[in-house]
């Protein structure tokens, strides 16, 4: 490991990853809502999709996908608008999740699946910016590019696992205070709006 990164460099990667993934954003706000609405067990697929999907994006970007966007900026512009459309669909889904807490009504609603959460990483403008920044900032011209990218991806496996569980458990904690249908509906609508707002700045970069 010392051939790839010194301890201070490794700590810098962890610090950057923690700052970017523990902060509020589309992933975390959706997990907060899912933890409150569906509970921890039903949110596991969503958590797994993030933990797998984002590190895979880091590897892809680190190995050259990000360069394609530099060569073809129009492709990145198209991706941003596709991502925003998918984000709006997710926000709409959350906003329209029923506030009915009965078991029958709750079974009619579904949390995001592993595939949905994993695919969302690839159309999330914020995720692309994080992946590009991380790989460009923490890789060096030492002939160990692939190994370094894998280390960065591994760091994000750890950080996304911790942050995803933290925000989901935060939703479970909020359940103590939000126990009626009307409050739950208002909460989910609020989360849907915040999800869109949280990614808006990245759409205009």
What confidence tens digit (pLDDT) does each residue in 145-184 have?
888 999 999 999 999 999 999 999 999 998 888 777 777 7
Which residue pairs from 77-84 have beta carbons closer than 8 angstroms and sit at least 24 positions apart in sequence?
79/123, 79/125, 79/128, 80/125, 80/202, 80/203, 82/123, 83/123, 83/124, 83/125, 83/128, 84/125, 84/199, 84/203
Q: In which band, very low, low, confident or very high, does the pLDDT at 98 lie, cut at 50, 70 and 90?
A: low
CB 26 within 8 A of CB 163: no
Residue that has been written with the tokens 């933990």 in this structure: 51
Q: In which band, very low, low, confident or very high, does the pLDDT at 103 lie, cut at 50, 70 and 90?
A: very low
Phi-psi region of 98 (alpha: psi -120 to 50; beta: other; left: phi over 0): beta
**Has residue 6 been placed in a domain?**
no
Residue-number span of the structural domain to which 124 is assigned: 38-203
**DSSP reduced 3-state for 146:** helix
> Cβ contacts of residue 70 below 8 Å, gap of 6+?
none
Pick from 108, 37, 90, 109: which is nearest to 198 by CA? 90
Structural domain count, the chain: 1
In this predicted structure, what is the pLDDT of residue 24?
84
**Has residue 7 been placed in a domain?**
no
**Has residue 4 been placed in a domain?**
no
The 10s digit of each residue's pLDDT in 15-71 is 999 999 998 888 998 999 899 888 999 999 999 999 999 999 999 998 887 666 667
**Has residue 194 been placed in a domain?**
yes
In this predicted structure, what is the pLDDT of residue 107?
47
**Has residue 166 been placed in a domain?**
yes
**Has residue 11 been placed in a domain?**
no
d(CA 167, CA 175): 13
**Has residue 17 been placed in a domain?**
no
**Has residue 31 been placed in a domain?**
no
d(CA 91, CA 18): 24
pTM for this predicted structure: 0.81
Residue that has been written with the tokens 């103590």 in this structure: 176
């Amino acid at each position: 490991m010392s051939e790839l990164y010194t301890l201070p460099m490794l700590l810098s990667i962890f610090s950057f990853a923690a700052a970017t993934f523990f902060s509020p954003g589309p992933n975390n706000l959706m997990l907060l809502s899912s933890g409150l609405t569906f509970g921890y067990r039903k949110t596991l697929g969503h958590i797994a999709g993030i933990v797998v999907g984002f590190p895979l994006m880091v590897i892809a970007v680190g190995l050259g996908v990000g360069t394609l966007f530099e060569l073809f900026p129009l492709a990145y512009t198209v991706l941003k608008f596709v991502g925003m459309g998918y984000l709006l669909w997710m926000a709409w889904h959350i906003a329209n999740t029923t506030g009915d807490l009965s078991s029958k009504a709750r079974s009619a609603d579904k949390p995001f699946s592993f595939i949905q959460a994993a695919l969302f990483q690839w159309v999330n403008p914020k995720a692309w910016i994080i992946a590009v920044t991380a790989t460009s900032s923490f890789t060096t011209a030492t002939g160990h590019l692939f190994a370094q990218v894998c280390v960065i991806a591994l760091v994000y496996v750890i950080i996304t696992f911790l942050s995803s569980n933290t925000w989901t458990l935060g939703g479970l904690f909020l359940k103590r205070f939000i126990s009626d249908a009307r409050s739950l509906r208002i909460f989910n609508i609020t989360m849907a709006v915040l999800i869109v707002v949280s990614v808006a700045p990245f759409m205009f970069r």
